[in-house]
Structures are given as structure tokens and as C-alpha cells.
Structure 1
């Protein structure tokens, strides 16, 4: 060893919608290397969303190899890998463990009729009792039903059904496994008892053998295959733990591991996430309730599917001038829009945006909802529309936070993560609508960092998940909310909520034309 003390390292892999982010963390919680690799999303029809799992495979392997190369860490020093990933996606393998089709991902809304079939099979009360959530078009069970009904030849070839991150696990280890947090979003898990529901599988006529074994998030599910270890510069003794959904791992990565703690993440979608020490049913399903990556705990989450996606859509379609200007000035597009929207008053001069480009999940559960600008006037400019998008996403998040308050969960300080949290304007809007302080963190790797902590807990490098979070995760800045701004936003928020409800029937009629 040439007198050099051997350290232990962990890898966290976060399989996102737009890219996979991988980090290498040392035993002191310090990120020593990171890498990312992007890939496309395909939308062959209105409301559909698909990705090729081979893109995920390539991204995972490329980024793992890159962090190992950048760091110079020896193969035997990496104790474990944790996996985080986008929820609800449907990956199907045949008897030879080959893909039978592209993956239908979380924001796909094609299976709205299948949710009605699910309610015909069992009443809402039963779905809430077992799966803890109402049937949702974006969740995995409805997707499976859609494939069985619309692509029977694909379904007949299927021998294994995996979630996105669990396909990467299979690539790394050859093992079929999942974790309780990600499995909660499949609509076939008994969420209270943290196991597959034989009753739901039976009602849906799904063969239980199609589904992987369920683990707690920090449990070891396998070790690297020799060929993968050799390719990535790792060891066959490198363990792969169960990991968790992107939101559950973000909970760990932001230190939200105790009752009443919460974070907001704004990425492609946006989420208000709150930790629960005890199982607590959410009436009406306005918030999702899932198993947490902390053993024996649960979490709520809710928020618009088209958060950052709304901003990306508007940027790509209507902001080419800003993109070119930012390139010429050597700055980022997002810095440019921050400067623009700072000049627009609260309420975007009476312009509202409904962030429902891909239907909606919480709190307005309806796959037929669509996006809309309401109150357009000749005074409105590109900057007004950009600010209205940011405000519309925050109104939806505030609806979810209000549901938390209705359950007796009062958050006095909200941690913020994801790309949107870097915007001071967005944080001010959220603070006013939540009526609480917004805190940022010293490190912002959220899900990938949480996955690495889970790997450390599972391999014994770290102690308990909570203690590790207390040691490593520190707040950086705190933004106090402005009571005057909060009062103004309350008035706009009330109009937003009325518009959401009054347009529901019209969105349905529009979809049925």
C-alpha cells in the first residue's frame, strides 16, 4: 500500500428522465467525482412518453467508468453502489432476458381507460387500503394492463417486469430485485405491509413470478458481475444495494428523514415530499403515500408532472432568441430568464399558467388535464409567460403543501433541491406560497447522494441512515418568506385553484373530440 491508508468509497447512480447522474463519495461524505450522460425521450403520440432502456444501460456504465477514471480510486476501495431512479416506468424482458419493447415511462398518460377498469375490478376504498393510492394512469399497473390489451404479442413474450433503476441493477448484477419505495409506485404493493399484494395481483391477473423480490432500500441485492466489474474498473466484491425511487433517495440526500421534515424538488417534474414515521392514510389520494427508503417509515409526495418540463418546452419552442443571446454572452439560459422574470411583478400582471402538459397526478388527479395560459393580454411579453410558468408550478406545489397541513403536518422550513432550486426567484415564490422559510444545501446531488448513503448503510461503511444524514447534510442559505408577498400570492392562488376545477370538464370534452 506504500503507506497509503485505504479508504472506502460508495457510488450513487441516479437514473433520471433526461440524464443519468453518477457520483463517487468517500467515507466522509465528500463527493470526489461526478459524471452525467443524457438521452432522449420519445413521444410517438399525444400524451405518450417512452425511452429506450439501452440508453439507460449505456449512461449508467459510461458514468460509473468516468467517476472511477476521474478519481483514480482502486477497484477494491468501492464498497457498494446505490441506485436511484425515475418511478413507475415499465421495462419488460423476455425468456432470454432481452428487452421486448421500449419502456413506457412515468409521465405517459395513455392508460387512462385502464384506471377505470381497475376501479371496476375493485372499489376506490380497496385500492386506497392496499396500494395507499387511487388508480393512476402514470403508475405501472395501468401501463401493464394497457400493454396486455393493446400489444398482446409483446405481453405474451414478457417474463420479467422491472422498474427503470432495477433494469440497471440487472445489468450490473444479473439479479431481479426492487425496493419498497420504488415498488410503491407500481400500484400492486401492499404499502402498509411493504410486500407484493396477492389480492391486487390476483384481481389484475398478473403472474407474481413476473415481479422481482422486494427489499428494504439499504439491503444488499447482489454483487457486480465479473464482466461488469472489469469494464467499470470495480471489484466483484462491490455490493449493489436495493436503493430507492428518485424521490425517496432525494429524501435521504436532502436529510429529510424524520417526522415533519420536508423538501421541494423542481426537476422535470416537481415534488413536495414529507417524511412520516408512521403509516398515515391520505384521504382522497390527493397526495401519494409510499414506503420510505428509511426502513419502517413512509413518505408523502405530490406535485405537477410538467414542472421543469414546462420550462424546457417553452424554452425550446419560444425562446431561441434568449438561447442565442446567452450563448453569445457566455452565460446560461437559466441565468438569463432569472434576470428577465425578476422585473415582472407578482402575479405576472394577471396571467396564470396551468402546468399540465402531460396530464396531472396530484393534487388534480386527471390524465386529461392539459396546460393553459389564462388571462393573456396585449401587455404580456415573453418574460411574463416565463414568470407565469414558474408561478403556476409553485401554485400546484402549494396545493400539495396545503394538503399536508390538512393532515396536521406543518412544515416550518422547507429544503429545496433540483435544478429549479437554484433560481432565487423560484425560491421566493415558493416561500411566499408555502409561508415558510426555504433552505438550500451545501451539496445539491439529492437522489444520487441519497443512493450513495444507502450503499454505505448497507455495506457497513456508514452507521444508521439518520445519523449519516445528520453528519453529512448541511444547510447553506435560508430565505425567509415575505408576509406581504404571501398575502398577494394567496389571492392569485385562490383564482388558480378555481380555474383548475372549473376547466376539468372542458379538458375532458376537448380530449374526447
Structure 2
């Protein structure tokens, strides 16, 4: 039996999966690392933490492997998007990575809009300038850390740095490059025009490759540290959302994904490079060659739930924390939550908005609050679903992965709020599975990613919308959509009081 490894480099932890040729998860190892948040809106990490924890996870996986280590043929990656990692001429780190959920770059987004122009930016990159993207971070470094900016030899994204440390080779795949705001999405090349207009040397952009491309083998030093074979083939990998789509089988028209991790994503497959959503949702290159996807994002999806758990029940397991929500009726007896606790992205690209509980009543229990948080996260994701539907996309079946797929009540809530069938997969590994599938395809196990998905992925349950709940949630969703416009000004006024 042969094996591959999928590495999922997330925001709070790295997860490595050992997968066999049947798609079975043989072993899973996870290691966590901290965020660095020095100011409100700042979010950074030390890239060396990614390397150290991934090395530990792979070493643990290899030490428990029963068989010839050379039977682990390939490894590939899924990585958190948009983060900025910068190296100097000697390929040394110049500063901590600035992450996707860092919102310090509102000023730089305005600069991009003024210099490039909103329409021109959409024409080239298919996306609007938002704080989370990589380009505004580069401009922030240029403006506020000019000494560091002048030393930049190459920039890359988180998983690309990890892969560089494993192979000594520097590349970026199209799916991650699409999230930088520097890629010409249709032409699949770095935009020299955007670089020139904004005073960025195009030479700092790394070579571009497909997600399934072979990019080298692991170094002797890394092999010794982990116990893996030096012959282990390394494949480029993709953005976490692109890999999540692959790992959920979103590889053909008509398929939609709901992924709830730290952030939440609604993602739909696109065949062509010319769909126009006018910047309301993101439009990125897929991890599948010559394919694309549209995507809406809730910045604090699972993070809203983990935040609430931390402040009210930090010592409980998630299962205990969620117990009782199934007894609370749809709509949480008039309690609404908006998950804007770190700002929002879709459909409100607003770094200043903050979350709310609306309708608190003395009869509400903890279970009401927990269910309201879950419903609020799902309402936010439904904003993206509505944009897709308004653009003519038909959404009747959705594959759900991530934290939202681990709880039966939450899966039913998704079916009711989205008014669509929700599919649960047997192996709910999302981006990590997608990374492993890229390695399996790269190793030649299958002729296509579609064929790999047919072998690796199985549906175990389908959740049907409950008509009476659909009706309740339709009314509540209309009220939910009023909360943003009615709290936007208040959030801005409260901004100076946030530490």
C-alpha cells in the first residue's frame, strides 16, 4: 500500500493527515501555535512556529508509521490565504507574517482604489481591495516599515514558506496567488501594471505553478528531522479554500461548499474566467487546473463560537457546550447574534463593524445564546448564498465541512437557513484531504482530481430543510440584515474606545 500526506497549515494549528490509496485517513496529528495580536486589528504569527510545529507533527506521524517509510510517496499542502511572508536576499525572514485576519490596512485599500481604480482592479484581479488581502499588507510595510520594504527579495504566503523550508524551492500556486490582489486571474500571470502603478518591483513575486505540480523533494536535513524519506515528492498545494473545495468534491458545475473553520466560507465552482459578480464575492483560481470558484467569507465564523465558549465555558468540551441547543426552537426565541467580532468581509467589507446580540430577554438561557451564535454565523454565510442566487446560480445541495459539520443540530440549521439539502461526508477533513488528493493526483494514482474524489469521498448523510423552520428563518434573516445598517454608525463611534 502507498500513502500520501496532506498538510493543512491553519490559523491556529497545523494538521497533518496520512492517507492511503483508498482515501482512508490512517493517522492524524495536530499541533497548535499562537497568534500575535499587539494592537486591535493586528494579527501576526512567527513563520518559524509553522516550521517547528509541522516538523514535530510529521516526526510523530513517521515514528508511528507501520511499514517502509518510502511507501509515503508524496506530500502537499493547504494553507491559510492572504498572509504576507517576506524574505531578504539571503532568504531570511524580515518580520513576522501579517495574517489574513489582520485589518490594519484600510488606508492602503483606499490607496489601491485611488491609484489603480476600483473598476480596473476588478477587471484584472476579479476582486475588490479588502484589508485581508496580501497587496495592502505589502503597501503597509512600504509605508510604515520602509527599511524592511527595501530589503524584500521575495514575498510568499504561509504554506509557501513552509514548503520552501522543506524543499529549498520557492513557488506560489495560482489559487493562493489569486488571493494576493496582484494576479491577473484570467491570464494567470502577475500583473506588471499593478506592480508599476503601486511602486512594487515585480521581481519580488515568486514563480507560479499549478497546485498539483511537482516542485521538488524534501531536503536531507528535513528528512532527518522528521524521519521521512528524502525521496518524498513534494507538490505545490493550494489555498485552504481551494483545497477545501477539492477535499469536498467541488470539482464540477452546480456544486457548492459551506466550510466553517475560524472563518466561514461559501464557495461555488465556476467553469469560466469571465463571470461578473461586480466584486460582491471573491473570484479565485481553483486548485483544479483551468477552473475557478466564487466565494463569500464570514471573517469570524467558528471563531465567534470559540470566542463565546471561551468567555462563558472555557473548561467545557465543545460537545458539552453545545448540549441543549437542539431543545431551543428555531430563532432562539427572538435572540439574534451578528458575528462581526473582528469586522466583516461578505457582503460588508467593513473592518470597523462589530458584533451584536439583539433581543436579549430575561428568559433566555445559555443554550439560547449558544444557538443564537450558531444561527448568526449561518445567517452571515447565507448572505453569500443570496448573492449567488441573485446572480442566477441554482443552489439546491451543499457539502458542509469544518466545525459546522461536526454537530447534527448545526447541520440541520444550515439546511433550514440555506433552504437546501446539506451533505455530510464520511471523511470530514476538508482542506487537509484536498491537499492529500493533490499529492495523490500528482503521484499519478489517478488520471484526474475528479477520479480521485470518486474514490476518496463518500456521502454518509443528507439533511433536508424543514419547511416550518425555513419559514421562521426567512423572516428572521430579513431582520438580521437590518442589524448591520443600524449598528454601523454605533460601531464607528465606539472604535476609539477599543484598546
- The TM-score, its normalising length taken from structure 1, stands at 0.94
1:424 and 2:418 aligned: no
SS at match of 1:373: strand
SS at match of 1:430: helix
Residue in 1 aligned with 2:372? 388
Q: What is the correspondence of 1:258-407 to structure 2 with a 5 Å cutoff?
A: 258-320=252-314, 323=315, 326=316, 333-407=317-391
| Deviation, structure 1 residue 509 | 3.7
| Deviation, structure 1 residue 77 | 1.7
Does the 8 Å contact 1:74/1:234 carry over to 2?
Answer: no
Cα distance per residue 1:447-496 (max 9 Å; x no partner): 11111111121221222111110121110111111011001000000011
SS at match of 1:396: helix
> What is the distance in 2 between the residues matched to 1:488 and 1:282?
32
Cα distance per residue 1:130-181 (max 9 Å; x no partner): 1110001011001111111112222223222110000001101111101011
Residue in 2 aligned with 1:456? 440
> What is the distance in 1 between the residues matched to 2:447 and 2:68?
23
> What is the distance in 2 between the residues matched to 1:182 and 1:243?
9
> What is the distance in 2 between the residues matched to 1:35 and 1:108?
27
Does the 8 Å contact 1:132/1:281 carry over to 2?
Answer: no
Does the 8 Å contact 2:309/2:321 carry over to 1?
Answer: no
Does the 8 Å contact 2:59/2:226 carry over to 1?
Answer: yes
SS at match of 1:376: coil
Gaps of 5+ in 1: 1-6, 327-332
SS at match of 1:212: coil
When the two structures are aligned, how many residues end up with a matched partner? Answer: 497
Does the 8 Å contact 1:8/1:461 carry over to 2?
Answer: no
Among candidates 188, 192, 206, match of residue 186 of structure 2: 192
Does the 8 Å contact 1:27/1:462 carry over to 2?
Answer: no
> What is the distance in 2 between the residues matched to 1:28 and 1:319?
40
Residue in 2 aligned with 1:3? none
SS at match of 2:441: helix
Q: What is the correspondence of 1:37-116 to structure 2 with a 5 Å cutoff?
A: 37-116=31-110
Among candidates 12, 16, 39, match of residue 18 of structure 1: 12
Cα distance per residue 1:382-432 (max 9 Å; x no partner): 222211111111001111011111222212111111122111121111111
1:504 and 2:488 aligned: yes
Residue in 2 aligned with 1:469? 453
Q: CA RMSD in A?
A: 1.5
Q: What is the correspondence of 1:189-228 to structure 2 with a 5 Å cutoff?
A: 189-228=183-222
- The TM-score, its normalising length taken from structure 2, stands at 0.97
> What is the distance in 2 between the residues matched to 1:285 and 1:425?
33
Cα distance per residue 1:278-300 (max 9 Å; x no partner): 12434332211100011000011
> What is the distance in 2 between the residues matched to 1:444 and 1:71?
22
> What is the distance in 2 between the residues matched to 1:374 and 1:29?
45
Does the 8 Å contact 2:322/2:367 carry over to 1?
Answer: no
> What is the distance in 2 between the residues matched to 1:286 and 1:429?
25
| Deviation, structure 1 residue 512 | 5.8
> What is the distance in 2 between the residues matched to 1:99 and 1:388?
43
Among candidates 27, 34, 52, match of residue 28 of structure 2: 34
> What is the distance in 2 between the residues matched to 1:279 and 1:480?
33
Among candidates 373, 394, 399, match of residue 415 of structure 1: 399
SS at match of 2:334: coil
Cα distance per residue 1:202-261 (max 9 Å; x no partner): 112111221211111111122211111222222332221111011100111111100110
| Deviation, structure 1 residue 366 | 1.1
> What is the distance in 1 between the residues matched to 2:433 and 2:11?
17
1:236 and 2:230 aligned: yes
Residue in 1 aligned with 2:111? 117
Does 442-451 or 66-75 show the bigger shift? 66-75
Cα distance per residue 1:365-385 (max 9 Å; x no partner): 111111111222322332222
Among candidates 143, 155, 158, match of residue 152 of structure 2: 158
Does the 8 Å contact 1:355/1:393 carry over to 2?
Answer: yes
> What is the distance in 2 between the residues matched to 1:59 and 1:356?
30
SS at match of 1:284: coil
